[in-house]
Structure formats: C-alpha cells, structure tokens
Structure 1
Amino acid sequence: MQQTLTLAGRILLAWIFLSSGLEKLGALQGTAEAIASTGLPLEFPLAVLVAVFEVTAAAALVVGWYTRAAALALALFTVAASFLFHAYWQVPPAQQHVQQLLFLKNLAITGGLLSVGAFGPGGWSVDARRAR
C-alpha cells in the first residue's frame, strides 16, 4: 500500500504544476503580463522559463526521476510564487480572504513537496530502478 500511496501523492502534487505549466505555455503573453505586474524584469523569457520548468519538474515528479531535486525545486518555486502573487496582506480587504486561501494552499503543497524531498519517491519510480 505504501508504494501505491507514494505514487498517488507524487501524481497529485505534480498535477497542479503540470496543468499550470501547460496553461502558461498556451497563454505566454498573459503569463508575461502577470509576471510584469509584480515588477519582475524580462517577463516574456521568464514566462517561458517558468512554464517549461513547471511541466518538466512535474513530469519528473510523476515518473520519479531526480525526484528529490524536482520536489525541492518546486517547493522553492511555490514559496516564491506565493509571496509574489498571493501577498494577501497587500491587497484590498475584499480580496484578502481568497488570496490568503491561495497562499495557505500553496504552503500546504510546499509541505507535501518537502515530504517527497525528505523521504524520496518510493519504490515505483525511475530513481528506485536506478538505485538497484
């Protein structure tokens, strides 16, 4: 049961990044505009980089390839994105509740990613096969 649950956890954690990355790839200009709204430079190249990173790291997490590195990179990315895009303490009161929920959701996802980083991908993974 442990292998099944570990694989399911990796898939569920990766799902949000895979779908988000694919969405960004399909709407790079909108992604660049969102990035520009935070004051970050080079918004279009950064939009491409973020989208490719999310898709690649999510795929690595699903198949369990360099799993710990992918999970830790996604954890760092998620924390950074939370502070940049869900700074609920900086938005008007009418928007604070939703932004706080998104911020806290991201912290929960980060917790799951840190667990994968700490405990590894489990037996059903490319990493486990390479270790044999």
Structure 2
Amino acid sequence: MSESLRFAPLLGRVLIAILFAPAGFSKLTGFQGTVEYTAQHNVPLPALAAAAAIAIELGGSILLVLGFKARWVAAAMALFAVVTAVFFHNDFSQFTEMMNFQKNLAIAGGLLAFVYFGAGPVSIDNRK
C-alpha cells in the first residue's frame, strides 16, 4: 500500500464513528424516550433493543476507531444499519424516509468493506 494512503482506513473509521457515536450518546442520555420511540416502531423487546443500539453505536464506534476486532465490529454495525433501516425508515411514501433507508444501506456497504479488508495498517488489529 502506498505510504500516502496509510491513514485512509483510519479516516474512514473515524468518519463512520462520527455518525454513530453521537446517536448512541443521545440514546443513552434519553434512554426512556429511546425505549418509547423503539416501542412505537414495533421493535420486539424495546428496552433490550435500545440498550443494544447504545452498545453498538457507542461501543462499536470506539472499537472501530481503535481498529480493535474491526471486522466483527463492522459486521455488527452493518447488520444494525440494515435492521434500523427496516424498522425505522420503511415509509417509502415519504421521500426523506426512503433516502434514510438508502443511506443506511450505503453505510452498511461501507462497513462491509471493513469486514472484508480489515481495519488497515493504523489499528490495534494490525499493530506490530
């Protein structure tokens, strides 16, 4: 790999975390509201689902940025993005919901690249 591209995967991991971490923190600080919102969308076991979302969004972001177990973390986050799209962005009569659905799928696609390629050279997974 070109030395000039050495930090590209790290930048990609940080940019993904910028999306997930604040959402997870918001869910954590407004947990009861998150549970209610989750229940309104007919998600089974809404409190458990909300806790899982926090763990994936906050914990996953931290682990992804560090590049620790990045393939597994990215897989979990990709699955989360798809499940979120299905449960929360499924009203295609509204253009913004359709766009959010598609964005979630695109995010999952980006995460799947980390599943395949790994965290890159600047990561705990690839420390020397």
TM-score by length of 2: 0.91
1:107 matches 2:78 = no
Which range is displaced more, 41-50 or 69-78?
41-50
Aligned to 2:119: 121
The residue type paired with residue 100 of structure 1 is M
The residue type paired with residue 87 of structure 1 is N
1:7 matches 2:6 = no
CA distance in 2, matches of 1:53, 1:122: 21
Q: Which runs of 4+ in 1 moved over 6 A?
A: none
1:22 matches 2:25 = yes
CA distance in 1, matches of 2:34, 2:105: 22
1:37 matches 2:40 = yes
* Runs (5+) with no aligned partner, structure 2: none
* Runs (5+) with no aligned partner, structure 1: none
The residue type paired with residue 114 of structure 2 is V
Aligned to 2:82: 79
Calculate percent identity across the aligned residue pairs.
Answer: 38
The Cα shift of 1:101 comes to 0.8
The residue type paired with residue 77 of structure 1 is F
CA distance in 2, matches of 1:53, 1:60: 10
TM-score by length of 1: 0.89
Q: Report the structure, 1 or 2, having the larger helix content.
A: 1
* 1:85-120 alpha-carbon deviations (Å, 9 max, x no partner): 00023xxx4xx1000111111111111100011101
Which range is displaced more, 36-45 or 74-83?
36-45
Q: Contact conserved, 1:86 with 1:102, CA < 8 A, in 2?
A: yes
Q: Contact conserved, 1:88 with 1:103, CA < 8 A, in 2?
A: no
